[in-house]
Amino acid sequence: MRIIREIHQIAGAFRRPVVTIGNFDGVHAGHLNLLRLMRQEADRRNAEAVLVTFHPHPLAVLAPDRCPALIQTLEQKLEIFATAQLDGVVVYPFSRELSGFSAEEFVRDILVRQLGMSAVVIGAQFSFGRNRRGDTKLLQKMGGDLGFDVIPAVETEAAGEVVSSTRIRNLLLAGELETANRLLGRPYAVDGHVVSGLKIGKLIGFPTANVESPIKLLLPSGVFATTLQTGGKKWEGAANLGIRPTIQTGEPLSCRERVLEIHLFDCTDNLYGCAVRVDFHRMIRSECSFPTLTELVAQIRCDINACRSYFRQQSNKG
């Protein structure tokens, strides 16, 4: 899969591609169905399948205060795109200048003249361009004039609702991980690095890997059944995401940032500095404060048992 990040590299890069356009945050089950349709259509035409996306997110440029917290990083999205058998991804740099393009200008000047698009696959609800005027109706009109086809994709539904990034984001924020993961088609994951912590976990008998992520985690504070992988190895664990209200750090609770720390089962490796991926499988409980450290330790034991039980159940299913 060829990845193009520079505008000057677009012209002539692909053979009469079948294209789809979007932000694809989360690359969920609905997105994957659209990508499969694009791949099938490209094969039918003996053409290439090319996805066009924007980075950074348009709202991050135009209205940062309204930009949604993202489910994934760009690199995570590209990793999933590579598994969808695409021929190429154009990561179009979004800017205020680009936001001034009308939908007609974007289609004519970029998708047709530069990219050489022969067909576009588009979801029913998708729109783009200035004032969001670029929709199926406009594309069909322009396709007749400029010589490309428009292939509408049927929306993916689950339990009677359309699968969308917004729905998944709301499920994650509510801690409804298993439903969110089902719509994603995989566990919600964050990438990061293991950093040094306060060593409190080790002192109370539950050493943890403290993971620092470049993006905000879309989860409520609490305890989660997780897996952590790095360097070809993978461990199950119990993760705590929160401000650790029971622990005295000398910092007021209102000033504390949330920390992700994971007690890994049966792990003896030194992971400091390692790049890791953490998959979240189930929320066990919400974060709360305990009157004493002894009570916190007792609860941690219960949390670990709950996480181990969850993974045993999953293993027995599979």
The predicted model gives 150-167 an average pLDDT of 83
Domains of the chain: 2-161 (3.40.50.620), 187-317 (2.40.30.30)
Distance CA 6, CA 3 (A): 9
pLDDT digits (tens, 9 = 90+) for 40-58: 999 999 999 999 999 998 8
Tell me the C-alpha to C-alpha distance, in Å, between residue 215 and each of 56, 176, 190, 204: 13, 20, 8, 29
pLDDT tens, 221-263? 999 999 999 999 999 999 999 988 787 777 887 778 899 999 9
272-285 residue pLDDT tens: 999 999 999 999 99
Amino acid in the structure at residue 226: T
State yes or no: pLDDT of 171 exceeds 90.
Answer: yes
Mean pLDDT of the chain: 91
End-to-end CA distance of the chain: 32
Q: Give residue 159's pLDDT band: very low, low, confident or very high (50, 70, 90).
A: low
- Lowest-confidence pick of 50-64, 68-82, 118-132, 168-182: 118-132
Section 289-298 average pLDDT: 90
Are β-strands 49-55 and 18-21 bridged in parallel, bridged antiparallel, or unpaired? Answer: parallel
CB neighbours (10 Å) of residue 260? 22
What's the confidence (pLDDT) of residue 252?
Answer: 80
Whole-number pLDDT of residue 157: 75
What's the rounded Cα separation, in Å, for the pair 103 and 101? Answer: 6
**Of 316, 221, 309, the residue nearest 261 (C-alpha):** 221
Report pLDDT for 203: 67
pLDDT of residue 126: 78
Residue 22 pLDDT > 80, yes or no?
yes
Answer yes or no: are the C-beta atoms of 47 and 149 closer than 8 Å.
no
**What span, in angstroms and rounded, lies between the C-alpha atoms of 67 and 14?**
32
